[in-house]
Every structure is written in C-alpha cells, then in structure tokens.
Amino acid sequence: MEWPIFYKSELKLGKGSAAICTLWTKKEIIWKALDEGGYSVCANLYTIQGINPLIKNVLARPEIRTIILCGADLMKSGDAILNLMKNGIDAERKIIGSAGIIDSNIPLDALEKFRQNVHIIDMRGKESEIASEIAKYTNQESFMEPLFITELDKVSFPLYTKEPVFKIFGRSPDEAWLKALDVVTKFGDEKPTEYNAKMKEVIGIVAVIEEDIESVFLSKEDAENYYKTVFSAQKPDGVEYTYGERLFSFNGRNQIKQVIERIKATPYTRRATAVTWDISKDSESNNPPCLTQIMWNVKDKKLYQTCIFRSHDIFGAWPLNAYAMRRLQKYMAQELAMETGHLVILSNSAHVYEHDWRRAEDMVHNNYSGKITTFEEDENGYFVLNVDNGEISVQHYLKDGRKSDYLFRGTKAQVLYRQITHENLFSRYDHAAYIGHELARAETCLKNGKRYVQDEA
C-alpha cells in the first residue's frame, strides 16, 4: 500500500530512517539544512489532533523508530506527544496530561508498541544540532509488522442542502460551537482538500455569541497558550505567521491600536477594520491565515466585533479562535471604556477533517443531541395574540415593550404566519415556530367559539 497514508502532499520525504517533526516552524527551514539521506520524513505538527495521523503513518512504516521534535511549539502539540509517550492514555483514550484524544481505530496494543519502541528526541530550541543528532540513527529495524489504518469509524449518512448560509446563536462560544458542529456533521458535503485529506464542508456558518461564559471544553492552559499567539506581536523565527504578528505588527503597523484610536475619534466609523491577509505572500503560501479580517462597530455604546474566517476547522480550531476573539473584543472595549456587544464569527468554509468526523459526532451526541432548545428572548421583539371581533390579531412589540407599527389581522393561521415571516421580524427559528403554534391554537379557538389565551397549555 502506498505510503504515507495521511497528508502525503504535505510531507517532505527523504531516504533515511529517522523522522523530523517541526511543529509550527516551516519544515523547509529544517530539511533544507539536512542531507536527504539523513531523514525519512519531515513534517509539521500544528495541532494536537495531528498526533493521530502521525501515529498511523508510523505504524504503517514501523522502521521509523526515532522522531526528532523541533521548532516553535505554539499550540503545545509537542508537549502533548511527549505526554503521550510518557503517560499513555486514560480509559477514555485521552492523553494523560494533555487535551488530545487518540482515535478509537488505533488498537491499544499497536499504540503501546508505538510508545515502547519509538524514541522521541526533544530538540526544541536546538535546531542547529539536528544534523549531527540524526546521523546517529540509520537502518533501524521495524518494531512490528506494518499496520495500515486507512478507514475511520463509520459516521452518519449526511443530509443534503443547497443552503449557503446557516445562522446560529449561542449565549457562550461553547453553545455556538456545538451548534456549528451539529450543522457540519449533518449537512457537510464530503470533499477533498489541498492537504490530501477529506473533509465535510458547509459553505457559510454565521455564529452570533452573546455573553462571556467560561468554556467547559477548553482547558485554561490550552486557552492561555493560544492567547499568547494572538496577543503577542513577536513571531517566532521560522514560523509562517501568527495572528498576533499580523494584528499588532503588520509591516510595522499596530492595527489594533489604530482601530482603537479611530473609534475614539469617530465612534460611528465604518472603517474600523484589521486584516491578516498579506497579498504579497499569502496567495502563494501553503499555510495562509484562516482568519482574514476583523471589523468593529459601535451600537448602543457597546463594541460589536465581526470576524471573517476564509477557512475554519470547526472541530479542531473554532473554540480556541472564538475565545481568543472574544478576549480581543473585551480588551478593545476596555480601552474604549465601553461594554462588549455581540461577537459575530463568519466561517466561510466551515469544515471538519475526516480524522475528526467520529469525535465530532460523539461530541454532538454527548453534549447537544436530544436536548430541548432553551427559551431566549428575540432581540427583534415579541408578539401578542388575541382573538376578538371574529378575527385573530397579532401585534408586534419591541423588546423594551414599545408597540411597533406592525399589526396583523385575519382568520387563517397559515396566511397570518406567512405575512408575519415575510416582514423579517423574527431573528430566531424557535420564535417563528412558537408563533406558528400559537396561531394554530388561536384559529382553533376562533372556529370553535372558545376563549383564546396566549401561552395557555
């Protein structure tokens, strides 16, 4: 069977025995300084989720018994694989000491052989010594028969939609994340990617996040490690980019400071925008920024923030992105002496990679599916229904209790419902469904000459 199994187009193959894992540092910087015969494969390991395809590739070529770990460990994926080798996994297959989870289709005995026979040499910060170190490892014997794990656990049959945009609400990033995962696992189209891996993709998810609530899914350590890459203007040597560098020191410009100053001078500005896309570099880059633009607006003396992601890994990256963007919003609001308004995240290509399909479905099943939608007030207002004088009346009110100009009258629930929905007065699906239910009750009462009371069971 052809090797490597995963991410073939992203790996630099050599003719040696040892592998090199460069974490966030551009792999070209490392392998170009080495003789091709000195290494078997050279690749990045950006996230903890990448540990699973790494293991599967090694199990399929078990003569790889040495992995040189090097480069900038921005997401602590290097720490995670070291914890895996030292501590193993718990009963739920979670890496002890790190957040990663080992795929269910990696047999435990094969994982244990990997842990006992593969030697990881931590050379982070010692990249100049790799050439002399890797020369020690040549022609190593296989530690087991090759094991090709190419199939993932079966996942649900996808639904199909032509809908280009899904709008979801969440009081917290966690709540919005589960809804986004549910949408992608249900409706995602199976497609190839430029990383030689399949994905499920939904074109367009707009998430509206209303409040600041601490995550139950992210560890504080993981979040703090990620925040450093977003709030630091310093980019580690050899790293393609960081959001912090692009936001706080883009070609010498501190975009965040400039936006704050612009809003202070002109709160109604429509030019409070920061970009991370460098047209001179990113169009040809193999690893361009996923977050491309952030915009800010002031409404009711609150700072609203909209973030646009051209490509968004919903399972592996969305939660960290969302909490980091919320922290950025809060920081800027404090500088402006304002409160924070809603955070809006537009994910253009909202996707889940194949190696995460099973875990994404499990996350949705265990934390979202089968629950009842909690009642939340519609920001666009509410409706009061009455039955009198032989007809149904539906009066719309603003959230603060003021009567709006929208009054609907009639005898047919379906006609009234379509009139109301045509006026774009709903912001939430559950409120539209509620009005449909109440209109049906009101029509029944009207036909049967019974007294109608809204919300009466």
How far apart are alpha carbons 189 and 351 in whole angstroms?
9
Q: Is 290 a catalytic residue?
A: yes
Q: What amino acid is encoded at 428 in this protein? A: R
Give me the DSSP letters along 121-150: EE-TT-GGGHHHHHTT--SPPPSS------
- The catalytically annotated residue of 21, 42, 70, 290 is 290
- Contact of 284 with 187, CB cutoff 8 Å: no
* Backbone angle region of 86, left / alpha / beta, with phi > 0 → left and psi within -120 to 50 → alpha: alpha
Cβ neighbourhood burial of 140 (10 Å; 0-12, 13-18, 19+): middle
* Backbone angle region of 93, left / alpha / beta, with phi > 0 → left and psi within -120 to 50 → alpha: left
- Token duo for residue 342: 């809603």
Q: For strand 198-209 and strand 339-353, is the pairing parallel, antiparallel, or unpaired?
A: antiparallel
How far apart are alpha carbons 115 and 120 in whole angstroms?
9
How far apart are alpha carbons 305 and 293 in whole angstroms?
11
- Token duo for residue 457: 């069971």
Residue 145: count other Cβ atoms within 10 Å of its Cβ. 7
How far apart are alpha carbons 426 and 292 in whole angstroms?
30
Tokens 């090097």 found at: 70
Q: Which alpha helices (DSSP H) does 209-356 contain, by range?
A: 220-231, 243-248, 255-265, 318-335
Over the range 85-108, which residues count as b (16 or more CB within 10 Å of their CB) and which as e? beeebeeeeebeebbbbbbeebee
How far apart are alpha carbons 164 and 62 in whole angstroms?
44
Q: Which residues pair with 273 in a beta bridge?
A: 295
Q: Give Cα separations from 52 to 140, 172, 236 (angstroms).
A: 22, 29, 26
Residues classed as catalytic: 290
